[in-house]
Chain A
Amino acid sequence: MLLAAGLAAGLAAAPSAFAADGAAAAWWLWPLGLFVLCFFLGILAVIAGVGGGVLFVPIVASFFPFHLDYVRGAGLVLALTGTLAAGPSLLRSGLASLRLVMPLALAGSVFSLAGAVIGFALPVNVVQTALGATIIAVAVLLWVAKVAEDERVHADALGRLLGLSGEFHDAAGGRTAWRTRHTALGIAAFGGIGFVGGLFGLGAGWANVPALNLLMGVPLKLAVGTSGLAISLINSSAAWVYIGRGALLPMIAMPSILGVMLGARIGARLLHGMPSALVRHIVIVVLAVAGARALARGLGLWV
């Protein structure tokens, strides 16, 4: 309830200050509203196990007056900074594998760059429509995605060549060995996911984790950690396109980054006491609504 109230407050705080004639008397309410919204998005994202970027872009694009260029830029950097902060501990605990990340991030980075460049070449209504459709697809994916665990994965030739195997220790002290299957398909999937991430400014944990877990047979915990590390590399390439095009407005990006980082820290502390399944369902509904709004905006049905 508190989370829902906070989200509503963030969405409602700023717009009234400036709705009438676009006067800028209370310009500071916008970054403040963004900070409050992003703080609660950060909490929600951690508890629901999704990235902040995938929530940020459709919600802010739908309910704030910023041009989509700046929302995509901020979303991309927001996803990047969130994963940078978690990277060192994930690497040290073995819950992210640098060796597994390298080939995936290489494909993702190249296509993320391409996605970002193409995103600036397309008309904004086309990008908005595609964003809405993608977000609705993400909501469906989160709804139906299953988890593959305790599977006996037989390493394929490319996985063996790249040395994509190892083991990690879970919290209970057990060892879990891992190796990859369908490695070429997995690399191709990361190329496609990188393209979508660069195009829309999304973090791509919603797609990376199923690609690693369901397609490549990587255990879920390692998939989640490795996905974060991959996002930090993949989004770094596209971020330069947004910086070079002037699509990273500090007044939009910085409060969002700080809000999500702070919210994520709180979310991590609340993680064990919250009904994560319920929060995940709330996130799916929020994504579906924001996706539908973005789609309607892109199609000119509800501007």
Chain B
Amino acid sequence: MSQPRSEHDPQERYARWLELGSRLVFVFGCVALGLYLTGLLPALVPVRDLPRLWTLPAGEFLRATQAPAGFEWIGFLRYGDYLNVAAIAGFSLLSMVCTVRVVPAFLKNGERLHALLAALEALVLLAAALNLFPGAH
């Protein structure tokens, strides 16, 4: 298994997309954190208020700060704190993208069962990302 792999091999394809994606998101996360900590981007929740707020449960925090819940944070990317949430979401999105990319590679190899498992995994991750599961709200 350590021989050079074809770029069409599902495992190599997954590795390639994961490598590229994790580097991009890591750089994005570092930039986002720098903008947030230096105050170059304003924060929706002022950092000086955080020590008072981070002792609260997440639900109370949202109510106290009127911060966005669910996917509403996408509309708040002009704020440093929510640009960082986008970076965290980027890390969470990577596995789904990689899994989607290997489905055709498995099919091309004639590995239908693995293609089906990868497609189901991608669907579960998509449902999670879109909050489409019982108890999400």
Contacts and interface: CB of A to CB of B under 8 A. Distances in A.
Given A241-B128, A241-B136, A244-B131, A163 B67 contact: no
A257 B32 CA distance: 13
A246 B69 contact: yes
B124 A250 contact: no
A124 B60 CA distance: 13
Interface of B is mostly: helix
A106 B49 contact: no
Contact of A67 (B32, B57, B87, B134): B57
A103 interface: yes
A214 interface: no
B89 A66 contact: no
A253 B2 contact: no
A107 to B, nearest CB: 10
Contacts, number: 200
Contacts of A208: none
A102 interface: yes
A87 to B, nearest CB: 5
B56 A67 contact: yes
Contacts of A62: none
A92 B15 contact: yes
B58 A70 contact: yes
Interface of A is mostly: helix
B124 A110 contact: yes
B49 A24 contact: yes
B15 A239 contact: no
A238 B128 contact: yes
A98 B14 contact: yes
Nearest to B21: A84
A236 B54 contact: no
Nearest to A17: B51
B92 A66 contact: no
A70 B54 contact: yes
A236 B96 CA distance: 8
Interface in B33-60: 33, 36-37, 47-52, 54-59
